[in-house]
């Protein structure tokens, strides 16, 4: 029969086979039909693919008078093989049938590829045209390891590592020392387990369609693993193109242009409540850059913040915090910033900002000594209670600059609990001389004076309004 069929074939073609509902029909036995135009007998065999919307192969073999008077011997030989194969029992799966047809036709045909782009699509955020801002999303996921997250991140992102520090090191070692394929297998197993934890911890209570930003180091496999999963669930997912590396480049480009802003320096001796004045300015609608807040440091040897366990952020995170504060500032309006040296603690002020600050207008705040002492004691209360020993260690370090006799005098005042005496002494003999020297060294801009009688809320709120009126365009 196979030879008879081979000489009487009139058509053979691929087509799409789907059910009325738009889905591929289930696997069926070959269907035999004897209806046909002109009494031509038709034998059609169809094994649809179980994959929705994917192509399937159909072979229609017409038995009877051929409409074409001649066929090449090559085509006839191929149809002999095809008809013989189709006469056999159907294979166990549609995939096996596709493989058989490929082998029959010379081995150059492959089963159709699944279109992974069907269904919800990922959005892509390009740093060349958009600022990276977590406030535009309901949740921002940093899928890098905890160590990478701690060093720097998009401000507002949460840590959702698909590989922790140990797992990342393990996969990286396998990739280099064994082979990439084995490393990917191990990594995939670890990622799959961690994806389950991430969804359980962060997404079970969220609604469909919530906006999610996802990024890893360079926008590769780690971020794609979580992004695709969340996208298929039904979240509106955006993938940061280039990942954290692209974000860092955006931060650095922005900081390089920060010299274009018009800065107004809020200066004054230690204890003048300059930070409070900046807060009042911000509450009044001014553009304020808080360098000490970004650095988690108050700008002196005693300035480490106990709220951060006396630690400072990395330089990269310090840069990101500045970027986060300034990314929507307008160059047409002044930026108020506290007068600092080129370093806040151990963190360097970005070069463009520092150079612009050196030539900016200066407002020097003057407050009476009793008000300064009271402000210092309120702000550094931990040194009088829980961190007395830490204070004494810092005072011993100052002996190299102010002399051992002065250092020992301060330590004695602390041990005696003479706090007002100690604070005034260290202000007059350490901080005030240092401030005067720094002013001569670091500031070249014009200086105006703002004299305040106390550090009360009303006094500083009125001072902020006056400054806004004076410096607003």
> What is the rounded CA–CA span in Å between residue 443 and residue 361?
9
> What is the rounded CA–CA span in Å between residue 210 and residue 219?
21
Q: Closest Cα to residue 264, out of 431, 450, 434?
A: 450
Q: Is position 126 annotated as part of the catalytic site? A: no
> What is the rounded CA–CA span in Å between residue 276 and residue 460?
7
State the SS3 of 149-163: HHHCCCCCCEECCCC
Buried b (16+ CB within 10 A) or exposed e, 80-115: bebbebbeeebeeebeebbbbbeebeeeeeebeeee
> What is the rounded CA–CA span in Å between residue 343 and residue 76?
85
Q: Looking at 24, 216, 231, 258, which residue is catalytic?
A: 216
- For residue 259, CA distances in Å to 132, 170, 333, 361, 447 come to 21, 44, 13, 14, 20
Q: Are 306 and 407 in contact (CB under 8 A)?
A: no
Q: Closest Cα to residue 46, out of 118, 115, 96, 94?
A: 94
Take residue 106 and report the two structure tokens written for it: 């010379």
Catalytic site positions: 216
């Amino acid at each position: 029969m196979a030879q008879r069929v081979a000489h009487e074939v009139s058509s053979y073609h691929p087509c799409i086979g789907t059910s009325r509902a738009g889905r591929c029909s289930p696997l069926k036995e070959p269907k035999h039909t004897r209806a046909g135009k002109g009494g031509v007998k038709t034998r059609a065999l169809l094994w649809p693919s179980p994959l929705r919307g994917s192509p399937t192969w159909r072979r229609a073999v017409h038995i009877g008078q051929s409409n074409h008077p001649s066929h090449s011997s090559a085509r006839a030989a191929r149809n002999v093989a095809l008809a013989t194969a189709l006469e056999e029992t159907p294979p166990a799966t549609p995939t096996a049938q596709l493989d058989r047809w490929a082998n029959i036709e010379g081995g150059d045909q492959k089963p159709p590829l699944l279109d992974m782009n069907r269904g919800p699509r990922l959005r892509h955020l390009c740093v060349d045209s958009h600022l990276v801002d977590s406030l535009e999303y309901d949740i921002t996921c940093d899928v890098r390891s905890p160590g990478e997250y701690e060093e720097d991140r998009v401000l507002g992102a949460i840590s959702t590592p698909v590989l922790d520090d140990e797992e990342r090191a393990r996969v990286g070692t396998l990739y280099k020392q064994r082979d990439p394929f084995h490393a990917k297998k191990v990594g995939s197993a670890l990622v799959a387990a961690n994806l389950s934890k991430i969804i359980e911890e962060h997404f079970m209570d969220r609604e469909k369609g919530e906006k999610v930003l996802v990024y890893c180091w360079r926008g590769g496999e780690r971020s794609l693993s979580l992004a695709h999963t969340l996208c298929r669930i039904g979240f509106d997912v955006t993938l940061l193109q280039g990942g954290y590396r692209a974000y860092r480049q955006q931060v650095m480009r922005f900081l390089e242009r920060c010299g274009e802003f018009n800065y107004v320096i809020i200066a004054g001796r230690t204890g003048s409540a300059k930070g409070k004045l900046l807060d009042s300015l911000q509450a009044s609608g001014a553009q304020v850059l808080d360098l000490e807040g970004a650095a988690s440091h108050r700008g002196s040897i005693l300035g480490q913040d106990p709220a951060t366990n006396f630690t400072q952020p990395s330089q990269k995170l310090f840069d990101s915090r500045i970027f986060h504060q300034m990314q929507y500032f307008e160059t047409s309006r002044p930026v108020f910033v506290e007068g600092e040296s080129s370093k806040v603690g151990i963190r360097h002020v970005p070069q463009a900002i520092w150079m612009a600050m050196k030539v900016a207008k200066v407002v020097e705040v003057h407050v009476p000594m009793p008000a300064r002492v009271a402000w210092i004691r309120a702000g550094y209360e931990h040194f009088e209670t829980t961190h007395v020993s830490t204070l004494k260690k810092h005072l011993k370090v100052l002996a190299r600059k102010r002399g051992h006799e002065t250092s020992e005098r301060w330590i004695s005042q602390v041990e005696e609990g003479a706090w007002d005496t100690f604070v005034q002494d260290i202000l007059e003999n350490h901080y005030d001389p240092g401030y005067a020297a720094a002013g001569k060294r670091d500031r070249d801009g014009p200086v105006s004076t703002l004299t305040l009688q106390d550090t009360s809320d009303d006094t500083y709120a009125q001072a902020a309004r006056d400054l806004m009126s004076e410096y607003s365009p």
